[in-house]
Amino acid sequence: MQKIGKYEILEILGKGAMGIVYKAQDPDIDREVAIKTIHFDAAYEGGEEEEARTRFMREAQAAGKLSHPNIVTIYDVGREERMTYIVMQLIKGISLQGIIASKRVFSTQEVSQLFTQLCDALDYAHKYGIIHRDIKPANILIDDNGRPFILDFGVARIGASTMTQTGKTLGTPSYMSPEQVIGKKIDNRSDIFSLGVVLYELLTGRRPFEAENITTIIYKIINEEPPPLSDVRKDAPAGFADILDRVLAKKPEERYQTGGELVKDLKRLASPSQETYVMDIPAAASFGKKPKSKKAVGVVVTLMSLVVVSMGILLILSPWKKNVPEISTSVPAKTARLDETSTADPGAKKPVDKPVDGKTLGDDQTIPDSQSAEDDSLRENGKQLETMFEDENYTGVKRLAESVLSVSPDDLSASDFLTRAEEKIKDAGLAASLREGIDFYNRGRFQQSLASLQMVLAEDADHAEANRYRTLAQRAISRSEIKVILERYRMAEKEKNLLLLLQNIGSDTVREQKKQVAVALFNNYDNINSIISDEKFNHINSSRVEVVYANLLTALEKKTQSKKVVFQGEKTLVFEKQGTDWKIVEIK
């Protein structure tokens, strides 16, 4: 082509599923532009083609009103016969997809700077009610100065709505939000999810939802979490995992609601907080531990005091007892200390006192009973244990009780407190796992929910609440897996793929029955289109599920070349878990 409208074609910049992108010259103002051509006849037929073209022209005109430093400006839209085209700002640079493919690793500051601009651009468009619908690295250009531009505002809906038209795949759903891939109404939060997928890929060099076919990709987007950032990139800066967890949340209400919210968290990672203070830490200190509470510090000091006192008594009494005459047990020992008020002979020589446990001991005094000191220590420990238990400091109780029992293994009180504290700690752990399992279930993370609930059931197999949510999570997973099979089943009919169709069947009788019906359908009809809706699941047991759904099957009859409704009504399939896969074992 030499010209498109008034624009003179200079060269081809690229080719897409629906047309070609040209570099061209605008003769009126002598500037270079980019022109994207769109052939709607590649994806639509008859009246649908004209309707899609009209809608595109309307949306491109709306997007043409956007004026932002990080959005590729739309200058003009036009039409020549059956070809529609859009004239845009020409950006000299490379797509983000090309940069990711080069395996370049971005710093935290670079990521923050890049996404700050992209989020600002999306926020600007969203304020005007314009949703992009196809945010992905190929639609983000980086110019020679490192400045990002989002392109294809006003174009993306065409690609999204024709993803599987006429048996062709126009683009990939890898960057789409869960609500977008299942055809629900979307809003600006869908673009936020897509931007999160780009962020994940920028950090790791791989997409968060990868598979060999579109059906499995869609299943993962709806049901599975991406591989943890720490598993894919070991040196990922702390904090990015939390950001990705929120931006890729399955439910829109759990995501960042605007790009501005995402930017705030990214900026916190890019620069140290102004509220962070540097402290001198002793070399012997271990990093990463939480500071002890005042109560815990008191327990440690008490224990250390008891150890020091006990050691002092042993060290002092050991040599002293050798030089002290044995005292008859028949004579009551005097325990009062001699002082200035004593009735003893004032001229008598004052006995030499020797220190014992911080006190002085005269010649007529007895040595304090070591059992008494031990009893005092046990009583003090008992009070500490009781106080900590009442304060629900069960970890502190456990540590102190273990310390006491290491010295006095037969201490029944310490043993009782240890048992009770361990039970409380165990109950708290189970309660936390149960809350986590329920929270994961409510957020649609059914695999994580099962893992948390299993921790509860491993300790208490009859736990009613844990068993209830485990059943709910297992059923939700089963429904998701069966929906994937139904979609594969539908596509197999549409593509006349007999092998794929029979692959989902787990009964020889049903396989032969379905084979005969499918062969007759494929031999007599073309352009088969099967629509499945309103699925109802009856879980007969954990390994058997009955699915009732509405089915509309239309096709082009070969003989008459007319479109026919081959089937319209309800169908019932019975699925059975065979190994790790669900199979169709009965067709009603």
Catalytic sites, residue numbers: 134
Give the Cα separation of 125 and 131 in Å (integer): 7
Whose CA is closest to 249, among 285, 210, 197? 197
Looking from the CA of 125 toward its CB, the CA atoms found within 13 Å total 34
Residue matched to tokens 């992209």? 118
Alpha-carbon separation of residue 227 from 17, 94, 217, 489 (angstroms): 30, 28, 14, 28
Give the Cα separation of 223 and 210 in Å (integer): 13
Element (H, E) at 383: helix 370-390
Answer yes or no: are the C-beta atoms of 137 and 96 closer than 8 Å: yes
Whose CA is closest to 58, among 77, 43, 39? 77
SS3 575: strand
Give the Cα separation of 71 and 120 in Å (integer): 10
Secondary structure (H, E, C), 272-311: CCCCCCCCCCCCCCCCCCCCCCHHHHHHHHHHHHHHHHHH
Tokens of 454: 């299993």
SS3 548: strand
141 φ, ψ to 5°?
A: -105, 140
Tokens of 290: 């939480």
Looking from the CA of 508 toward its CB, the CA atoms found within 13 Å total 0
Alpha-carbon separation of residue 187 from 71, 122, 550 (angstroms): 19, 12, 28
Instruction: Name the DSSP letter for residue 134.
Output: -
Helices of type H across 186-255? 188-204, 214-223, 229-232, 240-247
